[in-house]
Every structure is written in structure tokens, then in C-alpha cells.
């Protein structure tokens, strides 16, 4: 399953809201996870099952979608949110990831 | 708290084998799944494979002939071996815990960068 993630780069200001898209080449039901990557830190699981927040994920993060189209939305960006985000499908093998979205401060 | 830490050589010569260790603390590797993922320069991520709580393995078909994942339960470690490496195997290698039955990764190591070069 190919995962097409967009945009690859996103610039926004603290307080703004942003959305990141992840499209699967075939239906993956809701078997999608979102991760946050920051330099020097372990990757953090934010959301699984398309929309279920992992314990500890702030409520300003939300996930939506099922089938082939998924969205990660971050409302009221905080400074700690500027990072790289990846989606990953786990509906079938091999597990595959999106190409990443780098969220930078405008 | 579950913690994972990758270790191994940062430089490997072409045609040799890449061997990495993932040391796990705070959780037994006889539960859940334990995977290896790598990120290439340019940020493409690739799932390489995993070893399950029972010791069974699953590998990415793109690597199947070159990869082996094993474990030492007495040390709570699992291992990656990738044979016949080329410069295209240059990447940051991560180990991670896979959620039982769901195959997403809820804990990750910080990653170790491996360069394949003569």
C-alpha cells in the first residue's frame, strides 16, 4: 500500500491550525497511525486507528478519515508542535509510511 | 517506562553485514512485537521487519533474502542483521515496540545512524 502524504513542507505561526493529508493507494479501513519526529527524541505515536489519540497526546491534535483518505489536524499550534509528521498504515504487510511533512515556524 | 536503545557500528563496508542491537528496559520482549524501521536520507521510512513475543518473525519482502531478526530474552534484547549491504542501506535505524495485534509502534528508540561506505 503506497501512502501519499502532503504537503511535504508546511510553515505556520503559533496559534494557527494546520492539516496534513495522507492518502492510501487502496482502502486501509481505519488502520492508520500518525507519528511526530523531533531531533534528538524518540518518535512519538500521536494517533492510531485513524482518530484515536494515544495516551498523552494533547487534545489539539485530531485525526480523521477512513478508507483511503486521512487527515491530521493540529489546532492552535504551540512551539513544541514544530516537527516532522509521518503517517503509517498497518492494514496489510508490508507496513508502509508516508513521506513525511515538515512543519516549521513561519 | 518502556525505553528502547539501539546500538551498533556507525560504519559498515559494502558487502559486509550490518548488525544492530536493541536493548529494552521497562517491558519484557516476550510480550508484544518488536520491530526495526529505517529512515533513509531524504526521510523515506521503511519497515524492515519484526519479531513477535513468541519469537516468530515477519520481514519486508524487499529485504527478505538479506534480513534476520533474532532475540535474547535473558538480556531483553533483540537484534537486526542485514547481509550484503550496499551504500543504499545507509540510513538511520530505529527499533520500536509494536502494539499487539495492531502493528503500529507505540515506543521507539532514538535511532542509530549507519553509513555504508568503503
Note the pLDDT of residue B100: 83
Percent of chain B with pLDDT over 70: 100
Note the pLDDT of residue B38: 98
| Count of CB pairs separated by less than 8 Å, A with B | 55
Residue range A15-70, pLDDT digits in tens: 999 999 999 999 999 999 999 999 999 999 999 999 999 999 999 999 999 999 99
Note the pLDDT of residue B102: 83
What is d(CA A54, CA A66) in angstroms, rounded to the nearest whole number? 18
Which chain B residues are closer than 8 Å to A83 by Cβ? none
Joined together, the cell numbers standing for residue A19 give 492539516
CA B115: distance to chain centroid? 15
B47/A43 touch (CB, cutoff 8 Å), yes or no? no
B108/A86 touch (CB, cutoff 8 Å), yes or no? no
Residue range A66-104, pLDDT digits in tens: 999 999 999 999 999 999 999 999 999 999 999 999 999
Q: Which residue among B60, B96, B104 places its CB closest to the CB of A90?
A: B104
Whether the CB of B43 is below 8 Å from some CB of chain A: the reply is yes
Long-range contacts of A2-8 (CB under 8 A, 24+ apart): A2/A96, A3/A87, A3/A88, A3/A89, A3/A96, A3/A97, A3/A98, A3/A99, A4/A98, A4/A99, A5/A86, A5/A87, A5/A98, A5/A99, A5/A100, A5/A101, A6/A101, A7/A101, A8/A99, A8/A100, A8/A101, A8/A102
pLDDT per residue, tens digit, chain B (118 aa), is 999 999 999 999 999 999 999 999 999 999 999 999 999 998 999 999 999 999 999 999 999 789 999 999 999 999 999 999 999 999 999 999 998 888 999 999 999 999 999 9
Restricting to A residues 52-91, those with a Cβ less than 8 Å away from any Cβ of B are 54, 84, 86, 88, 90
**Count of alpha carbons within 13 angstroms of residue A16, beta-carbon side:** 12
Note the pLDDT of residue A13: 96
Note the pLDDT of residue A54: 97
Helix/strand/coil (H/E/C) assignment for every residue in chain B: CCEEEEECCCEECCCCCEEEEEEEECCCCCCCEEEEEEECCCCCEEEEEEEECCCCEEECCCCCCCEEEEEECCCCEEEEEECCCCHHHCEEEEEEEECCCCCCEEEECCCEEEEECC
Amino acid at each position: 500500500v503506497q501512502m501519499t502524504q502532503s504537503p511535504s513542507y508546511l510553515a505556520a505561526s503559533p496559534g494557527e491550525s494546520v492539516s496534513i493529508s495522507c492518502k492510501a493507494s487502496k482502502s486501509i479501513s481505519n488502520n492508520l497511525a500518525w507519528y511526530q519526529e523531533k531531533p534528538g527524541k524518540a518518535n512519538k505515536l500521536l494517533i492510531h486507528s485513524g482518530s484515536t489519540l494515544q495516551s498523552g497526546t494533547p487534545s489539539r491534535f485530531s485525526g480523521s478519515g477512513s478508507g483511503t483518505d486521512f487527515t491530521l489536524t493540529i489546532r492552535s499550534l504551540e512551539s513544541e508542535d514544530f516537527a516532522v509528521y509521518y503517517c503509517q498504515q498497518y492494514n496489510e504487510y508490508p507496513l508502509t509510511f508516508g513521506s513525511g511533512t515538515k512543519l516549521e515556524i513561519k | 517506562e518502556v525505553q528502547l536503545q539501539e546500538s551498533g557500528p556507525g560504519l559498515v563496508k559494502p558487502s559486509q553485514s550490518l548488525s544492530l542491537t536493541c536493548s529494552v528496559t521497562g517491558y519484557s520482549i516476550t510480550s508484544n512485537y518488536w520491530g526495526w524501521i529505517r529512515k533513509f536520507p531524504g526521510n523515506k521510512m521503511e519497515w524492515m521487519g519484526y519479531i513477535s513475543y513468541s519469537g516468530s518473525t515477519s520481514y519486508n519482502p524487499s529485504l527478505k533474502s538479506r534480513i534476520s531478526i533474532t532475540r535474547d530474552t535473558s538480556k531483553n534484547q533483540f537484534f537486526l542483521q542485514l547481509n550484503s549491504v550496499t551504500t543504499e542501506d545507509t540510513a538511520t535505524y530505529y527499533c520500536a515496540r509494536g502494539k499487539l495485534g495492531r502493528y503500529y509502534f507505540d515506543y521507539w528508540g532514538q535511532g542509530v545512524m549507519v553509513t555504508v561506505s568503503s
